[in-house]
Amino acid sequence: MPADPVTTADAPRKRITTPDGTVAELIETVPTPAPARGSSRTKARKRALDVLFEADLRGVDAGEVLRLHTAEADPPVRAFTTTVVDGVLARRREIDELIAGCLVADWTLERMPRVDRTLARIAVWELLDATTSAEVVLQQAVQLAQELSTDDSAGFLNGLLARARQRIEASRS
């Protein structure tokens, strides 16, 4: 939600006369800066998404992209970002097979938008890792899809990850 605008004492003012003859004074408002959004882990997930997306787009090893981002340290790479990227790389085949098995007919991993595919990989790794609650994993993935992908992506990803979650939980039973 945007912050409430505030007026300043030296803000530019403009007088207008309405059709009924009333004089109104308009004061320019200045929005307050928005507070930082998201937790440390949310920011780390987004950075992991950036690294994995870049690697996928460029067709290079995500580990190398992560090393370059870590060396640049602008902004610094969080430990959880490294954990996520390394986790996705270590279990990539298992993750991709699980995602492919949860897709509806006529959909393939390659057909998915690159952002959605990368978000799905991160979320499935987190579901497999089980250090974060499944509800948080799904909520974070859907939120990032709403911010960064197509209008239909959030719903698509939510359904896909719900099926993946069911399969993972069934395999643990």
Inform me whether the pLDDT recorded for 95 exceeds 60.
yes
Rounded Cα distance between 78 and 83, Å, is 9
Between 54 and 24, whose confidence is greater? 54
pLDDT of residue 136: 94
The CA distance from 111 to 107, in Å, is 6
Pairing of strands 23-27, 29-31: unpaired
Checking if the pLDDT of 42 tops 70, the result is yes
Tell me the average pLDDT across 1-11: 48
Angle at CA of residue 167, ends 136 and 54, nearest 5°: 60
Q: Which of 14-18, 66-70, 86-90 has the highest mean pLDDT?
A: 86-90
**pTM, rounded to two decimals:** 0.77
In the chain, which segments carry CATH 1.10.940.10? Answer: 40-172
Fold for the domain defined by 40-172: N-utilizing Substance Protein B Homolog; Chain A (1.10.940)
Res 105 pLDDT > 90:
no
